Every structure is written in C-alpha cells, then in structure tokens.
Amino acid sequence: MRASILGGDFFPYMDNAFSNAPFWTGFYNHRAYFKCFERIIQRELRLVDLLSVTIGNYLNSDMEIARRNLALGIHHDAITGTSKRHVMDDYMLRSRSALHIVLKEQERLLSISNETFTTVFVNNSVKTKGMYLPRITFSFADGIKSYKIQIVNQKTFSTMELVKINVSSPFITVTQNDNLLTIQVVPLLKQSDLFELVYNDGSMETNFGLYFNRINDYGGAYTMVSAGLSFENITDKNRLSPIIIQGPVYSSITQQLSSQLAYSITIINSTDINAHSIQIDLFTNVTLSPGYTYFMNLNSNINSVDHFYTDVNGMYLIQRRYDKKMKLEANIYPMITETVVEDDKLRCTILGAQSTGVTAKLGLITLMVDREIYNDDGKGLDYYEASESHPSHLRYRIIFEPKNVRNE
C-alpha cells in the first residue's frame, strides 16, 4: 500500500464553504501601499549591505533597529494589511523610521554631504503618508554648472535601466568618462518649470492589450466576495486625453483614467536583451471608492487554456489552474514576484514590485491592483477597522519571449 503524496500548496485557502466569505484571497492585495513600501525598504537595505561590503566599512549600530522594524512589517498581520488601523499606523511609523535610518546610512557610506540628493530624499520621503516618494530637483541656479552623480547597480549582473533625474533646465548635457551620452528631456506632468531627464539607447517593438476594471467586493480585509457580479470597466467621460512621448531613449503613454486610477506604459528604445520589457506604472487612489477591488488586465494571443504559473515566495514557479466552475475569488492565487502564461510558441511574464493576487485564462492575465473595503468578513476585524488604502505608486514589468520550437 502506497501513501498519497501531497503536492503544491493550500491556495486559495477556504475555511468554511457555507460562510458568507469563505475564500481568503482579499488579503493578497489589501492595503497595497504597505506591500509596496516594504519592498522599497528591502531594496534600500540590500544596497546598504552591498555598499558596506564593497567599501569595507562596518554598519552603524542603529541599522539593527532598522532591520527589526522591517522584520515587524513582514509579520503575517502586517504585510497582509489585516491589522487594525492604529496597529497599521504603528507599522508604518516603524517602517518610515527604518527607511530613514537606511537612507542616512547610504549617505554615510557614500560620503555624501548634507546638500545633496540622498539627504533631501530622506527628509521628504519619511513624511509621506502614502507611497509617493518625491525626488530632489537638481537646480542650475546660483552659479551651479554641473553635478557629479553616482549610480549603484545592486544586482549581481549587468542590466539596462532607465535613469530618471529631475532637473530645473532642459538645456543640459550628460557625460560619462568625458563621452557625451544620449539623453531625453521631457517636461514633467503638472510641472511647468521642471523637466525629467532619462538616458539609454536603442529600439524595441511589441503589441498587447491592457485595460482596467473593478468589481463590487463584499468581502473584508481577509476575504474577497464578488457575489457573482460582472466587472465594471474603468472609464470617466471627463478623463484627460493620453499623453504620448517619443524620443531616442524611451517612448511612453500616460493617461488619467479616473480619479482613482492613472497609468503609464514605457518602452526602452534599445535592442539590448535586458531592455526587452514593458514597464507599467500605476497610480491609485481608491480611498473614496469603498466596496471595490480594482484590476489590471493584460490580454494576449497566448493559448494558455486554463493554466498559468505564480512564484512561491520568489523561489520557484508552481502551476495554477483556472476552474470555471468556481467563482472569481476562488481562482485568485498569490503573486509574490511574478506570474507566467505560455503556450508552445510564446511566454508572457509579469514581474511585480509588490505582492498581489492574480488569475489567468485563455491568455488573459488579471491582477488585483488595489481595494478599499469596509466590511467585517468575520475573520477578526470589525467593520471599518481595516479600510484605509493610501495613494500608491505600483510598478510592474511585462516580458514577452519566444519559446524554442524543436524541429521534429
């Protein structure tokens, strides 16, 4: 007699099939701003560790406080966004403290003076309630003619990325080792006197469909309850026309769809394989739209049928299956860093800068974006205790790649 072997995991978790809110899939995306903020701190902390090793300088003792505060933020009732308001406020306070300590340590390790980029970034970012972390503007007033900028790649391999810097004048040049670089100067939206500088090189083309919608969600902080309702497309008759940017470095399209959602799609103009991706920036503010979960949908011609993949804590991929007999919330799985759909010819990967929930069928990938829920789902938080979702800047990267076809 052979014992059965359990494979996979227990997602999506269901505690009671007869309850009003049985599927624990709402917390995948609840309080998206906090999930994003934790990733930012982890990224900056890793940079501090790399700088410490590279420079050969021990870290200050207060870095232990930053690590402890970050660890608290990864607690299973913190990163999930399933704590009461005053508890989440304390988590955010500790997280901001951790970010402040980490950025100040970066400044020390790089021997940057108090008048430069990092210090101003620290002073501004830790005061931000939501997830918009402002950048300093490099001003060329008062006789200042140039700045020396140090860029650190904390990855273990060479990569091609857009480097964006706010400047006060469009009439500038950028050099590296006395060589003139190709740059692109673009006016910043809603800022008549500021410009954004980006540099890179090359060209790339791709096609895909991207749209946004929302659904009435009667769940709570832990659960999602769609009640079998249909999606409502995000639209606003007063929405602004899209802003299209084309240049030697990158091309992008930006549009404010509604008061709750704006997006930007960016493509790096390069033939380098490291630049073969599409960058998606979402700006959400759902605080005045309670009772909804918002989604981003990517539609492709990939014949994935009912199968797709998500990562398990960023370590490996596991296959998921969309069950058309079950409700939407029963088909959503946790996406910690990525999701994949593929057929025998093409693969599409979506990488996320923050964790969320995802489902997919017939080449259509549907990601949870943000939600504002007041209800008590009977899992431990009363009505209105876990409702707030601050404005967020959520980032994704889409990669299309052909699969090798073996000739028989």
- CA atoms within a 13 Å half-sphere pointing along the CA-CB vector of 9: 15
Report pLDDT digits (tens) over 112-122: 434 444 433 44
pLDDT of residue 121: 41
Confidence of residue 396 (pLDDT cuts 50, 70, 90): very high
Alpha-carbon distance values, 15 to 18, 319, 378 (Å): 9, 22, 11
DSSP 8-state class, residue 326: S
Helix, strand or coil, per DSSP, at residue 79: coil
**Apex 74 CA angle, 72 and 78, nearest 5:** 80
State both tokens at 245: 């940017």
Instruction: State how far the Cα of 116 lies from the Cα of 148, in Å rounded to an integer.
Output: 10
C-beta of residue 136 within 8 angstroms of C-beta of residue 120? yes
Q: How far apart are CA 261 and CA 265, in angstroms?
A: 14
What is the phi/psi pair of residue 308, to 5°? -155, 175
User: What predicted TM-score, i.e. pTM, was given to this entire model?
Assistant: 0.84
Whole-number Å distance between alpha carbons of 378 and 223: 9
Would you tell me the crossing angle of helices 85-109 and 32-55 to the nearest 10 degrees? 20
Q: What is the CA radius of gyration of the chain?
A: 22
- CA dist 44 and 29 (Å) reads 23
The domains of the chain, with CATH numbers, are: 26-111 (1.20.1270.50), 199-402 (2.70.98.30)
Say if residue 212's pLDDT is above 50: yes
d(CA 322, CA 306): 5
Chain centroid offset of residue 257 CA = 19
Looking at every residue in the chain, the average pLDDT score rounds to 82
Nearest to 31, CA basis, from 263, 261, 313, 220 = 220
Which residue has better confidence, 198 or 380?
Answer: 380
Q: Could you give the strand order of the β-sheet that contains 137-138, starting from the edge strand earlier in sequence?
A: 137-138, 163-167, 195-199, 183-187
Predicted confidence at residue 338, as pLDDT, reads 95
> What is the per-residue pLDDT for 207?
62
Total count of residues recorded for the chain? 408
pLDDT band at 282 (very low <50, low <70, confident <90, very high): very high
Q: What is the pLDDT of residue 196?
A: 53
